[in-house]
Amino acid sequence: MEPVTVWWARREAAHPGLPALLDTVERARRDRYLRAEDRDRFTLGVAITRLALAPLLGVAPEQVPLTRACADCGDPHGPPRVPGGPHLSVSHSGDRVAVAISPHGPLGVDVEQATARMADVSGHLLAPDESAADERALLAYWTRKEALLKATGDGLRIPLTNLHVTPPEMAPRLLTWKNRPDLPPRFTMRSLDAGPAYTACLALLDHPDAPIEERPAAPLLTTTAPR
Ligand SMILES: CC(C)(COP(=O)(O)OP(=O)(O)OC[C@H]1O[C@@H](n2cnc3c(N)ncnc32)[C@H](O)[C@@H]1OP(=O)(O)O)[C@@H](O)C(=O)NCCC(=O)NCCS
């Protein structure tokens, strides 16, 4: 069975050859980011997506037919999709970028850097019977729930408190989802290795036996480095 692949990059992998891979919509979005770190994270996410999908689709990276239409407004800031192609999910935080690609069912990936802001979100994050002793535990709940919400494409339009997941000391699993009893048995979840001071999770729909591989994206990215 073909693996689900999670490609990992650090911000330092961004280089001047990458923007050439972006289409005009992506370049316009890149140009709107005021902070260099936001530009780099976005550019890396798009570049890894295009470089990883190109050999699977048999086209040049620039020709991978990516769309990002938002379900609410139609603007290109929604989940990335390839019509009829593999499923994908992108996440960035701090200096980490993750791009997850599945030849099987829809999937969601989320990475978060440990930051003080987590303490403020617990009221919006934890369901009534969930509790978190510290920052690390909050991050685990956050990434587990966001990975699930990204896999369904709902994102934060659905309250995080609608989902009930296993606590951080247990392997990640969806226990209940308000008004969606069909979903818990369909999800497979995996904690990912984003390095110290980061927490990351993957949620995959409908393919419990799919192998999951984590790979460095640096070798992909250097193929486009200016010489
Ligand atoms: C997407 C979202 C779940 C994650 O936010 P986050 O933790 O701050 O950021 P992450 O880096 O983990 O993920 C961002 C990526 O998720 C993807 N994404 C965006 N919307 C998504 C959705 N509904 N479902 C799945 N993935 C989504 C994009 O690839 C985005 O990266 P990109 O813009 O560089 O391509 C959250 O910001 C959200 O739900 N936003 C949309 C809310 C909405 O739909 N509002 C209506 C606007 S009109």
Distance 6 CA to ligand 1 centre (A): 17
Ligand 1-lining residues (CB < 6 angstroms): 42, 45, 70, 72-73, 77-80, 89-92, 110, 146, 149-150, 153, 155-157
Distance 227 CA to ligand 1 centre (A): 34
Kindly report which listed range (7-11, 55-59, 110-114, 131-135) carries the lowest average pLDDT score.
131-135
Judgement on whether residues 116 and 202 belong to the same structural domain of the protein: yes
Identify whether 99 is part of a domain: no
Distance 12 CA to ligand 1 centre (A): 23
Judgement on whether residues 143 and 214 belong to the same structural domain of the protein: no
What is the model's pTM? 0.96
Q: What is the pLDDT of residues 92-102, one digit of tens each?
A: 999 999 999 99
Q: How many CB atoms lie within 10 A of CB 85?
A: 15
- With contact defined as beta carbons under 8 Å apart, do 69 and 76 qualify? yes
Distance 78 CA to ligand 1 centre (A): 6
Atom 34 (ligand 1): residue with closest C-alpha? 42
- Residue-number span of the structural domain to which 82 is assigned: 1-87+210-227
Judgement on whether residues 195 and 109 belong to the same structural domain of the protein: yes
CA of residue 199 relative to chain centroid, distance: 12
The pLDDT of residue 227 is 57
How many distinct structural domains can be found in the chain?
2
CATH number assigned to the domain comprising residue 72 = 3.90.470.20
Output DSSP code: residue 67: B
Judgement on whether residues 57 and 111 belong to the same structural domain of the protein: no
Identify whether 96 is part of a domain: no
Mean pLDDT over 120-136 rounds to: 89
Judgement on whether residues 191 and 129 belong to the same structural domain of the protein: yes
What single letter denotes the amino acid at residue 188? T
Q: What is the pLDDT of residues 34-90, one digit of tens each?
A: 999 999 999 999 999 999 999 999 999 999 999 999 988 989 889 999 998 899 999
Judgement on whether residues 217 and 200 belong to the same structural domain of the protein: no
What mean pLDDT value characterizes the chain? 94
Beta sheet of 212-216, edge-to-edge order: 87-93, 96-102, 4-10, 212-216
Return the ligand 1 atom nearest residue 71 CA. 44
Instruction: Say how many Å lie between the first and final Cα of the chain, rounded.
Output: 37
For the cut 90, the answer to whether the pLDDT of residue 223 exceeds it is no
Mean pLDDT over 106-134 rounds to: 88
Return the ligand 1 atom nearest residue 77 CA. 33
Judgement on whether residues 116 and 199 belong to the same structural domain of the protein: yes
